[in-house]
Amino acid sequence: MNTPKRYLITSALPYANGPKHIGHLAGAYLPADIYVRYLRAQKKDVVYVCGSDEHGAAITIQAMKENSTPLAIVDKYHAMLKSNMADLGISFDIYHRTSSPIHHETAQEFFTALNDKGELEKKETEQYYDEDAKTFLADRYIIGTCPVCANENAYGDQCEKCGTSLSPEQLLNPRSTLSGNAPVKKATTHWYLPLNKHEDFLRKWILEDHAADWKANVVGQCKGWIEAGLQPRAVTRDLDWGVAVPGAPGKVLYVWFDAPIGYISATKQWALDNDKDWRPYWEDKDTKLVHFIGKDNIVFHCIIFPVMLKLHGNILPDNVPSNEFMNLEGDKMSTSRGWSIEMDDYINDFVKKENGGDMMVDALRYYLTAIAPETKDSEFTWKGFQDALNSELVAVFGNFVNRTFVLMHKLCKGKVPPLHVELLDNTDKQLLEEIQLTKIKIQNSIESYKFRDGLSEVIDLARKGNKYMQEKEPWIVAKQTGEDGQPTAAAQQKIDNCLHICLQLTANLAIYINPFLPFTAKKMIYMMKVVDKMLDWDNAGKSKLLSTGYSLRAPELLFRKLEDAEITAQIEKLKTKSSTLKKATSMETTTDTNNQSTNQPVKKSTIEFDDFAKIDLKVGTITAAEKVEKADKLLKLEVDLGFEKRIIVSGIALHFEPAAIIGKQVVVVANLAPRKMRGIESNGMILMAEDASGKLKFVSPGEAVDNGSAVS
């Protein structure tokens, strides 16, 4: 695109059903914030919008779980997310919410416009209905056994254990989370967005026009979706929480449809608040629209929302620099499993507890950017965080700035010394040149969304500063003294040149680090006694930012080290949190033996003796056991039930070595309908007990009995 007249930057709307973790921060918020701060330093016309996504069945489910109302839930988490983001320096121009009236109006207008143009299709379908609760069931309200990994608490839209996208029809033994009963099929009418009609447009727009400038992982995922063939997608659903569908009582817009429109309504609210016109940001082709998201959002921002925008007459995104996922200490980050570092927890542990917590905000921003999952999944470890902070921020960047200030106070009376141009040698000139070159390198990196590279250029420049100082050794030069005990004139000139250059470099480092670590830049501005305007990108690369003779403040600590005890405490905290959650989960869900991934409440209703009597429990002996290929949790077992031998697939592979359980007597649900797992038919289920730490034990008779003995 030609030079844009204005920029509209969005970060994925976080879902207001709970706290969000630092993987989210690294994926969609921090990179956008760096980009926006860079554009602002360039004096561009830029608006950065975001807000809480407050609709959808997961909110109503969270409300049930907390014995609360949807509104109370979104109020609570909206406030938390808004303040977390502000504490971490994410500089939205507006952090809005989709429960606001202006959003409801905007989303309804959008739906009506598309419907009036004939771009939506109305269809009657059969959907799951809970006869006890007298309501249609959103996908999330239906749970059942995952056909891929046999997790018994997979949701109707996704199995959180193995990550497979599902439809409720694919679940084995579906049941309603409202009543616990099996749902029935009932007819209902909905509007659909016929994505299949827009395949040609998407193919050209993404796979041709943006093949080169979008990230390979984004184009690759889109290609997969398009090649698989796009289907009409329901725009509406039967639910009572959301944006009401005009003229269709009892129906709301599907949350995937209303949420991205939240970017538009947020822009409208921002314009109202600031006396601006929102339209050019969404309608003028000279606007550069960039969506920052995580990879789970690619289909919505690259396929579905662009189709909606095109049909509605809006501009399309120029880029969607999606990140991959950030793992944590060897496992996938997950709030529901307790394996995560919530933004809120980090803020409480590191930012609010101590004076100067801002430096720990920048420390986190530093590490998350340095290991950003820009092209592939990456991993956060507390040890890695400690190393990055101690050996890069403290030892390289902080050390350079601190040394420069200390020596300037000691050897130059606290003032910017003069530069003796005639004495500049090659080492001096090289460093001055590096200061300029770094500007171009950082620009290129940020403008191509390679924030890791940009940040490492800043650290490299500080490293060059340290090397330069080490070569020049002004503290040694200062020992060449005259009769008065002061450095000789020649020595002082050398000292002057070295520290003059180091101070100009420090000023440049402040400009360069500002988009990444804004609190550090601010502190440096204060130490140099200059105005914020010095951070304008125009000033980057200049070697005369600080005037000769200007007196500067004493150095301040920019970063502190992270101690071993702190990281040990955090790792302990992580382990405790995940095992406590697991315990709570297993108490809620009872029968499932491999339920680490969900904290879905399943209330089982009272049953009659006859119901219990339907279960045929038999004692058997495991006679063979082997791992199931490509399923790290499954074991294929052969169990001797006396009257016959059975093949049973069980999700216990993480707990037992196959060889160690052969000969074990177990209790089997012998009349469970057969089901296929990974292509193997499983005939029955082995009963397991799970202790508080998630360890599994076989349920078996206290003493050996004949195989085939009944359990009752």
3-state secondary structure of 418: coil
Q: Using CB under 5 A, which of 49, 159, 304, 478 touches Zn ion? A: 159
> Does 705 help bind Zn ion (rule: CB under 5 A)?
no
Residue type, 649: V
Stretch near Zn ion under the rule CB under 5 A, chosen from 156-164, 284-292, 365-373, 481-489:
156-164
Report the C-alpha gap between 180 and 326 in whole angstroms: 35
Compute φ and ψ for 583, nearest 5 degrees: -60, -50
Residues 6+ apart with CB under 8 A from 561: 389, 390, 394
> Does 326 help bind Zn ion (rule: CB under 5 A)?
no
Give which of 218, 219, 249, 245 is closest to 234, Cα–Cα. Answer: 245
Cβ distance to Zn ion smaller for residue 112 or 158: 158
Stretch near Zn ion under the rule CB under 5 A, chosen from 130-138, 145-153, 202-210, 438-446:
145-153
Minimum CB separation of residue 530 from Zn ion in Å reads 57
Binding mask 508-547 for Zn ion (x = CB under 5 A): ----------------------------------------
Rounded-to-10 torsion of CA 32, 157, 251, 198: 60
Minimum CB separation of residue 151 from Zn ion in Å reads 5
> Does 634 help bind Zn ion (rule: CB under 5 A)?
no
**Quick count: other Cβ atoms within 10 Å of Cβ 701?**
12
Report the C-alpha gap between 160 and 18 in whole angstroms: 16
Site for Zn ion in 645-664 (CB under 5 A): none
Residue type, 381: T
Cβ distance to Zn ion smaller for residue 370 or 685: 685
Minimum CB separation of residue 633 from Zn ion in Å reads 9
Minimum CB separation of residue 149 from Zn ion in Å reads 3
Give which of 28, 30, 74, 84 is closest to 53, Cα–Cα. Answer: 74
For 37-91, the three-class secondary structure string (H helix, E strand, C coil) is HHHHHCCCCEEEEEEEECCCHHHHHHHHHCCCCHHHHHHHHHHHHHHHHHHCCCC
Q: Using CB under 5 A, which of 24, 40, 161, 494 touches Zn ion? A: 161
Stretch near Zn ion under the rule CB under 5 A, chosen from 155-163, 336-344, 691-699, 704-712:
155-163
3-state secondary structure of 282: helix
Minimum CB separation of residue 591 from Zn ion in Å reads 17
Token pair of 482 as six digits = 């005259």
Residue type, 251: K
Stretch near Zn ion under the rule CB under 5 A, chosen from 139-147, 262-270, 509-517, 571-579:
139-147
Report the C-alpha gap between 285 and 294 in whole angstroms: 26
Stretch near Zn ion under the rule CB under 5 A, chosen from 160-168, 215-223, 331-339, 617-625:
160-168
> Does 707 help bind Zn ion (rule: CB under 5 A)?
no
Report the C-alpha gap between 321 and 651 in whole angstroms: 37
Cβ distance to Zn ion smaller for residue 157 or 349: 157
Minimum CB separation of residue 465 from Zn ion in Å reads 52
Size of the site for Zn ion (CB under 5 A): 7
Strand order in the sheet with 135-136: 135-136, 121-130, 184-194, 232-234
Cβ distance to Zn ion smaller for residue 159 or 574: 159
Q: Using CB under 5 A, which of 151, 497, 504, 589 touches Zn ion? A: 151
Q: Using CB under 5 A, which of 146, 253, 359, 530 touches Zn ion? A: 146
Q: Using CB under 5 A, which of 13, 16, 61, 149 touches Zn ion? A: 149
Q: How far is CA 499 from CA 176, 405, 474, 540, in A?
A: 72, 9, 8, 19
For Zn ion, the binding residues (CB under 5 A) are 146, 148-149, 151, 159, 161-162
